A = this chain, B = another copy of it.
Amino acid sequence: MKNFSIAKSRRLRATPYTSRIEKQGVTAYTVYNHMLLPAAFGSLEESYHHLKKNVQIWDVAGERQVEISGKDSSKLVQLMTCRDLSKSKDGRCYYCPILDDEAGIINDPIVLRINENKWWISIADSDVILFAKGLAIGNKFEVKILEPNVDIMAVQGPKSFGLMEKVFGKKITELKFFDFDYFDFEGAKHLIAKSGWSKQGGYEIYVENIESGLKLYDRLFEIGKEFYIRPGCPNLIERIESGLLSYGNDMDNGDNPFECGFDKFINLDADINFLGKEKLKKIKAEGIKKKLVGVKFDIKEISLSKSIDLKDESSNIIGELRSACYSPHFGKVIGIAMIKKPYCEVSQIVKAEINNNICTGNVCDLPFI
């Protein structure tokens, strides 16, 4: 597939780490929340193998925060998500589908409860801040909504624990998955969560003090040599194999959370008020009409830049392939597809035109591994 350049401008904001990753060999970008997000440092497959064995530092500043604070902040955050946050705790991260009044997904962020009156919504790629502002203004909520200067650096991979212990001490290895706490680096306090957009383990450092953050970035590379540290970025292969969904790729505003398999994050029986609740009850009663599933094709190459129609053996369109890559683990192409309900059973045959050939694949469960 032909390569095209990205035309840079202030509108596709550089991050505080951009000048560093350009010296370190970034080769491709995507755009995420109007910001440059690295997408490759040379070969995706080589980076995938490295990530699964070692440790990488990722510039994921594009994961922007929507900060909601003030008297009505809990009410507003709860209004936006079908997940029950009434028993949420300070210092915890929550994966929360954000829905509109028709139960269409608007985003699937991680919500950080800083305290009862201050929340960070760590967003996927859509302007949640505009939805929050609209709702707050319309409902006359007493809240303050802003995008703080937070530029996340992720430390991912099995060797991330050893590396982070060398900088922050034993305490950081005791952090539980999806907990966050504050850790000191040379006198500067950093919010660090045990989280990240891979299944290889690691941390996300929510850098507010960017001067200290850049020193920390450089320090991690200095002392990381023994852990075979490398710069990296969310890896298409690793995230698809692990079944980590991507908003805008695998699901969008035309999908509801039941269709995406988010059942455990939908709390219809809780005594809480959120958008789309009545609609979700109706969907639950009637059953969903389509569903996200995995698909596998016995081919070795794919490069997807838009949905690809999936057909059954009689050439009826039964769904669409939304993300895909060659998986070294399976030795074939795997992908994430939205398929009409009657056809989403495991082993259903699907046909698709890929690389100008008609290929045959089959449906499978998510996650793949």
Contact = CB atoms under 8 A, between A and B. Distances in A.
Interface string A1-24: 111111111111110001000100
Interface centre among A22, A34, A135, by most chain B C-beta atoms within 10 angstroms, is A135
A304 B138 contact: no
A149 B339 CA distance: 22
Contacts of A22: 2, 4
Interface centre among A10, A307, A322, by most chain B C-beta atoms within 10 angstroms, is A10
Nearest to A127: B127
Given A4-B27, A28-B4, A10 B134 contact: no
A217 interface: no
Nearest to A106: B130
Interface in A287-313: 303-307
Contacts of A106: 130
30 contacts: A1-B8, A4-B6, A4-B22, A4-B26, A4-B27, A4-B29, A5-B6, A5-B29, A6-B29, A6-B30, A8-B305, A9-B30, A9-B246, A9-B323, A10-B249, A10-B305, A10-B323, A14-B306, A100-B133, A101-B133, A101-B137, A126-B127, A127-B127, A127-B130, A127-B131, A130-B130, A132-B134, A135-B135, A135-B138, A138-B140
List the number of copies, as a whole number.
2
Contacts of A34: 125-126, 248
B133 A10 contact: no
**Chain A, interface SS category:** loop
A139 interface: yes
Interface of A: 1-14, 18, 22, 26-31, 34, 39-40, 100-101, 106, 125-128, 130-140, 246-249, 275, 303-307, 322-323
A13 to B, nearest CB: 7
Nearest to A6: B6
A26 B5 CA distance: 10
Contacts of A3: 5
B6 A28 contact: yes
Contacts of A28: 4-7
A5 B5 contact: yes
A26 B3 CA distance: 10
Given A34-B248, A131-B130, A249-B10, A136 B137 contact: no
A236 B151 CA distance: 29
Contacts of A26: 4
A137 B31 contact: no
Contact of A27 (B5, B135, B139, B248): B5
Contacts of A139: 138
A306 B7 contact: no
A11 B249 contact: yes
B138 A10 contact: no
A68 to B, nearest CB: 13
Interface centre among A8, A9, A136, A140, by most chain B C-beta atoms within 10 angstroms, is A9
